[in-house]
Structure 1
Amino acid sequence: MKLYVSPRAPNPRRVQMFIAEKGIRGIEEVAVDLVKGEHRSSDHRARSPLAKVPVLELDDGRYLGETRAICSYLEGLYPEPNLMGDSFEERAFVEMTDRRVELYLFGGIMNCVRHTHPGLAPLEQPQFEDFGRSQGEKVREVARWLDEELGRQPFVAGERFTIADITAFCAIEFARGLMRFRPGAEGMANLQDWRDRIAERPSARV
């Protein structure tokens, strides 16, 4: 299999971190340069019609896009260590939390950065700065919710590490770099402590 990624892009990093947590070997990584517009090339659009990364090329020649779908496929191939829930009940609650993080934290961070950071202008035209700033404010509301959750439990979805932690960590790290968001500096000690714990995992270094 081949995984098409882009350096420093948070969605590919989610899949790379998932693969590292699984200990999966043998998936070739192929870099797609977003700055140079390689994701819009005809070759890449044949893999991903909407010009997105990551994309997983399967051994039978099919292409699987969308981060969560790729992770679900890999979870099926490599069920251990389990990262998406053992029982139907746990899977539902892990997915609920992961979707909340993806839609409201991760998505807000992406909107803020893409519409306010000049370096992202080539990827987001036109930029709407007011929208971006409002998204940055909403991100902090969601982060405060997550901080409260982490005051009651050690991991994002409960008592153990799951895909929801990967999604949240990649989101927070992206915000650290381009939004200068530091949870601890904004009174979110639980979120900061959790971030620092996750950063010590080998998968966080991919």
Structure 2
Amino acid sequence: MMHLYTYDPAPNPRRLTLFLSYKGIELPTTQIDMRENEHRGADFLAINPLGTLPALLTDDGVLLTEVIAICDYLESQHPAKPLMGSTPLERALVLSWDHRIFVSIFEAFAEMLRNRSPAFENRALPGPLDVEQIPALEERGRKRFRGSLELFDKELGDKPFLCGDTVSFADIDLLVGVETARWVKESIPEGCSRLEAWLERTREALA
């Protein structure tokens, strides 16, 4: 039976939570408390050796550990209210934007958070490996985050959403990225009025 392992407050799980909520998908779920390091405990590592969340165990017994893969799989089973595009080109646009957002926003956030917080000592990268912090990467992450949002603001232009006239999973990801950046005292840069308006539209569309 399909089963979801997640931790709602964390950024990657929230991406999936918004996807599920918008589409009205309900799944049997177990919360793995990352604050208590349950994701690094033996019980969960026996399920997902990467120790990452969310993770979806499919009806076929296959474990999916990447949010974009989980959403693509679930959309194929629940096509109503599409978030991954309704045509091959639309899907390609969603995937293209999603990759850019993950690399330029989520990875930038991770550089800021994981290279400064004592809670991530020797855990500068997610996963089972011990990786030392590099303090200089915190400032690089801030530059990447701000510069990427300024570029996104220009590219958004007059479009209501990133991929056109309707909300998509790319919008969900950028929304989560922007809101989560408050953890490291970052937000949409001043002057990015298109993104500010987009943020309100996206929140309303997903409500």
> Aligned residue for 1:196?
200
**CA–CA distance in 2 between the matches of 1:164 and 1:15?**
12
**CA–CA distance in 1 between the matches of 2:59 and 2:175?**
30
Q: Which amino acid aligns with 2:153?
A: D
**CA–CA distance in 2 between the matches of 1:7 and 1:126?**
27
> Aligned residue for 1:158?
164
Secondary structure at 2:100 match in 1: helix
Q: What TM-score do the two structures reach when normalised by structure 2? A: 0.88
> Aligned residue for 2:103?
103
**CA–CA distance in 2 between the matches of 1:145 and 1:65?**
30
Report how many aligned residue pairs link the two structures: 200
Kept in 2, the 8 Å contact 1:114–1:123? The answer is yes
For 1:32-181, what aligned pairs fall within 5 Å after superposition? 32-121=32-121, 123-124=123-124, 126-176=132-182, 178-181=183-186
Distance 1:186 1:121, change over 3 A: farther
CA RMSD of aligned residues (A): 1.9
1:4-29 CA-to-partner distances (Å, cap 9, x unmatched) read: 1113211011111111111113x122
**CA–CA distance in 2 between the matches of 1:182 and 1:94?**
23
Q: Does 1:19 align with 2:40?
A: no
> Aligned residue for 2:127?
none
Q: What TM-score do the two structures reach when normalised by structure 1? A: 0.88
User: After the TM superposition, which of the residue ranges 46-55 and 188-197 deviates more from structure 2?
Assistant: 188-197
Q: Which amino acid aligns with 1:8?
A: P
Secondary structure at 1:186 match in 2: coil
**CA–CA distance in 2 between the matches of 1:136 and 1:181?**
8
In the TM superposition, structure 1's runs of 4+ consecutive aligned residues that sit over 6 Å from their partners are none
User: After the TM superposition, which of the residue ranges 185-194 and 133-142 deviates more from structure 2?
Assistant: 185-194
User: After the TM superposition, which of the residue ranges 57-66 and 129-138 deviates more from structure 2?
Assistant: 57-66
Secondary structure at 1:126 match in 2: coil
**CA–CA distance in 1 between the matches of 2:12 and 2:78?**
20
The answer to which structure has the higher helix fraction is: 1
Q: Which amino acid aligns with 2:52?
A: K
Aligned-residue sequence identity (percent) comes to 34
* Runs of at least 5 residues in structure 2 that lack an aligned partner in the other structure: 125-130
